[in-house]
Chains A and B, each alone.
Chain A
Amino acid sequence: MSEFLLLLISTALVNNVVLIKFLGLCPVMGVSKNLDSALGMGMATTFVLTLAAAASWMLEHWLLVPLRLEFLRILSFILVIASVVQFTEMFIRKASPGLYRSLGIYLPLITTNCAVLGVALLNVQQQHSFFWSLSYAFGSAVGFTLVLMIFAGLRERIALARVPAAFSGAPIAFIAISLLALAFMGFSGLNV
């Protein structure tokens, strides 16, 4: 049990998927304008990431490895991820139109969220067991959501602050997220 807890903390904070591995930067920059949609995006990504990890594990171990088709890994993973995203989109559209509207065009973007593919590939590379991959994916997604929300909170404040004209908009956001990345490095400690 404590191993899983450690794994969660490690994936969410120490090896944060956004700030340490630099995966999934597109939605972090794109959907972090307000806290509500950041939370929605985080939840959707968590759902997709966990589901995609499970699906890709099954694909890898039940199809690709037995048939010696490992060279199709990236191609087939993308196929599976795209379907899972499509399914999620339909489901959210039906279940929660409000969330669907607030996520807007960003929901299909999860398809190209490299964190999703990255985590699935890392799972294979590190030869995780099924539950271990699930936890790994879930922990990474929690880390992603955490960073997205922290950053959205920062940007909500930045939007109202008086920023010098040359820095306003994207530049100040990049400066803020780089400082955030520096702060997250503190979790792993500096190995000088």
Chain B
Amino acid sequence: MGFMEKFFGLSWGIHPEDHKRPAADAAVRVMPTPERLYVSLAQHLGAPALPAVLVGQKVAKGDLLANPRGPVSAAIHAPTSGLVAAIGEIPAPHPSGLPVLAVTLEADGQDAWSEALAACADPFALPPDEISRRVAAAGVVGMGGATFPSALKLASSRKAKVTTLIVNGGECEPYLSCDDRLMRDEAGAIVDGIRLMLHASGAKEAIAGIEDNKPEAIAAMRQAAAVHGEVRVCPIPARYPLGSEKQLILVLTGKEIPAGRLPGDAGVVVHNVGTAKAVHEALRFGRPLVSRLLTVNGGAVRNPGNIVVPVGALVEDVLAFAGGCATEPARLIMGGPMMGLSLPHARVPVVKGASGILALAGAEAADHREEACIRCVSCVRACPMGLLPLEMARHVRGGDLEGAAKLGLRDCIACGCCAYVCPAHIPLVQYFAHAKGALAAEERARARAGAAKKLAQAKSERLAREAREKAELAARRKAEREAARAAEAASSARSAKSAAAAETAAEGTPA
């Protein structure tokens, strides 16, 4: 931590009203499996998974539905037992409302776990490689929302010789309390998962950072971790966005991750508490990640709380199970209110990374008219990455994306602090999201142009080669023909000569 932070407290970040209770204090409910589940094949960072089932096939709960494709991808499993009804496009849980490929399961109501799943009594006896292999086979992804495949993170932290595993129990987003609830109820399982991840990643110690607005969770985790010296619980101040990777590392270890580098370069790796729980399930019981605890909250929800939801359940079913909406929600959000995705409608499925479903009432989702920037630099003060949001937004608005990138647009974590504090209600994060997307599109176009150039070159080379070969072949044929003709001529000449010689010889011989 820098000098200023040490003596004057954190200068960046914001303190939104957290709205976590009473949802956090309500007991966890388990949602029964709905009749149909829509399991998206793109629930993780990286390439969408490749379906491994056929339409009409019967699957048991936990059976593999889709294989990972490419190096960054994750397996997907059946959240319940039933019949594969369709493999096709459904609306994605995404603000664009674009379609995504999904496997539609018709539940048979048995909800029977597959018998092929192998429990493991002593996973600590397994080599680290085997642990990450099993984590990959269980399709575990980062449960904090980034959905990066966890097995890859474990393997790469071994390669980077990581010394510290940071467990993210920050949950700094307002409204959300699923991690809080998980730590209160399942602290033992989480600590077991943390110890397994320590074993798999080769780190020496684990620090669980939990914001101090969750005293029950801190107490529960302390109790569970008391017998294990390598796991330390460390309360951190409640401040948004402390649950973000780089900010959490800064506060807990004092190490600042430079722009464009990964935490692994500083010997640190961060996993979410939900991921620890999923790793525990995957190794102890062989159960893949097919359901998750998520928070249903917001002013429009009649009965807010935390619910265990099978992956693939529709948001509207989840809301109905939570007691329905008291009023028509003004905005539906998957994830937290600061960084979550605004949903176009409720007929989209829950995915592995969904930490919450928020149905906000009108007053909570108030849209303000954008006014002119008065250069108050509130956004500069709030930015946890030390960027200049007002300047970047000015460049983006003027269409100068490169200028914005030079100011550090790529380091923006899209936490939304700047837009939250802006007195002129400028949608700063939206500008940055647009600019990042547009820059990525330019990058793709450049890559495409490069590839096209290579292809065009290959074609012209091929044409040249073919022409050359044709010419060579023609030359060879011609040479052969010439040779044949010459040989013919020679042989005919020789035969004529030999005939003549024979004649002379015959003549010369004495009769």
Contact = CB atoms under 8 A, between A and B. Distances in A.
Nearest to B398: A160
A122 interface: no
B394 interface: yes
A68 interface: no
Contacts of B400: 160
Nearest to A161: B394
Nearest to B403: A160
A103 to B, nearest CB: 21
Interface string A151-192: 000000001111000000000000000000000000000000
Nearest to A158: B398
Contacts of A161: 394
Interface string A130-165: 000000000000000000000000000001111000
A161 B391 CA distance: 11
Interface string B358-396: 000000000000001000000000000000000000110
Interface residues of B, number: 6
Interface in B388-442: 394-395, 397-398, 400
Interface residues of A, number: 4
A160 B400 CA distance: 8
A127 B499 CA distance: 115
B436 to A, nearest CB: 18
A10 B395 CA distance: 38
A162 B395 CA distance: 11
Q: Which of A159, A160, A161 has the most CB of B within 10 A?
A: A160
Interface string B32-74: 0000000000000000000000000000000000000000000
Contacts of B372: 162
A162 B397 CA distance: 9
A75 to B, nearest CB: 46
Contacts of A160: 394-395, 397-398, 400
A161 B399 CA distance: 11
A163 to B, nearest CB: 11
A162 B393 CA distance: 12
A160 B395 CA distance: 6
Nearest to A159: B398
Nearest to B391: A160
Contacts of A159: 398
B409 to A, nearest CB: 14
Given A159-B398, A162-B397, 7 more contacts: A160-B394, A160-B395, A160-B397, A160-B398, A160-B400, A161-B394, A162-B372
Interface of A: 159-162
